[in-house]
């Protein structure tokens, strides 16, 4: 899901493209070189080859390093850095032992991509303690899968609108009476099937309410508007 830009970005009086701050390959804001740097989702960044940088973590980490080098160079002097990282690929887990990945141009899916995603995800976690906890949790769930059951504590209820076109059947003779119908607009015909023939009962109009039952409500041929 794309992230929304902070409102302050829209208020800045500087060059933008597609709503993002326009920077050069050194992550310097256009027309404010050496004074203002921008990176991350708020900036439109292109590598030295002209490729647009996607808003992913692998790029953001390297953007921060390049910006830090250039800020230090602007303050103390020294060699500047240009952002040239093109990306290693993308990978995403779909759950249940499946994933999709594109690594160094090769596309992988299914279980192999999922096995590739697990160690990559683990290496990105900060701190050895967190890595061990996550790996232990994965191993525990692999050996002892969770047993889940959904308990329905309360019956669902509510009122919802339904629209019927002429000729639509609202409910049939003998249907389970689990709903009450109220006509908000238009009209419908109630008929009963008896001895293989349909017997007209009444025309129901706005404000009429009823529940399907064997003794009275049978078949509605239309909601006429």
Structure tokens at 1: 């899901």
pLDDT tens for 195-210 read: 777 788 888 888 766 5
Which stretches of the chain are assigned E, i.e. beta strand? 16-17, 20-22, 43-44, 89-95, 98-103, 106-110, 181-182, 188-194, 197-204, 209-210, 219-220
7-76: CATH architecture? 3-Layer(bba) Sandwich (3.50)
119 pLDDT above the threshold of 80: yes
Query: Residue 224 — pLDDT band, cuts 50, 70, 90?
Result: very low
Q: Which CATH class is domain 164-225?
A: mainly beta
164-225 shares the fold of 7-76: no
- Mean local confidence (pLDDT), 166-183: 72
What's the gap between Cα 37 and its chain centre?
Answer: 31
Q: What ranges do the domains of the chain cover?
A: 7-76, 88-127, 164-225
pLDDT tens for 46-66 read: 888 888 888 888 888 899 999
**Can you give the pLDDT at residue 26?**
92
């Amino acid at each position: 899901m794309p992230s929304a830009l902070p409102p302050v970005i829209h208020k800045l009086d500087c060059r933008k493209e597609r709503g993002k701050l326009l920077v050069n390959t050194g992550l310097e804001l256009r027309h404010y070189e050496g004074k203002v740097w921008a990176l991350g989702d708020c900036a439109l960044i292109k590598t030295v080859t002209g490729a647009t940088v996607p808003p992913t973590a692998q790029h953001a980490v390297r953007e921060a390093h390049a910006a830090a080098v250039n800020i230090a160079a602007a303050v103390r002097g020294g060699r500047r850095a240009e952002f040239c990282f093109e990306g290693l690929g993308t990978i995403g887990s779909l759950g249940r032992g499946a994933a999709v990945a594109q690594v160094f141009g090769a596309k992988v899916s299914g279980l192999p991509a999922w096995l590739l995603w697990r160690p990559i995800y683990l290496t990105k976690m900060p701190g050895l303690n967190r890595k061990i906890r996550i790996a232990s949790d994965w191993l525990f769930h692999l050996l002892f899968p969770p047993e889940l059951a959904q308990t329905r504590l309360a019956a669902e209820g509510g009122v919802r609108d339904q629209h019927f076109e002429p000729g639509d059947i609202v409910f049939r003779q003998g249907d389970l009476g689990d709903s009450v119908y109220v006509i908000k607009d238009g009209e419908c015909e109630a008929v009963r099937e008896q001895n293989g023939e349909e017997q007209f009962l009444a025309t129901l109009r706005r404000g009429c309410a009823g529940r399907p039952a064997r003794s009275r409500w049978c078949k509605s041929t239309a909601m006429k508007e």
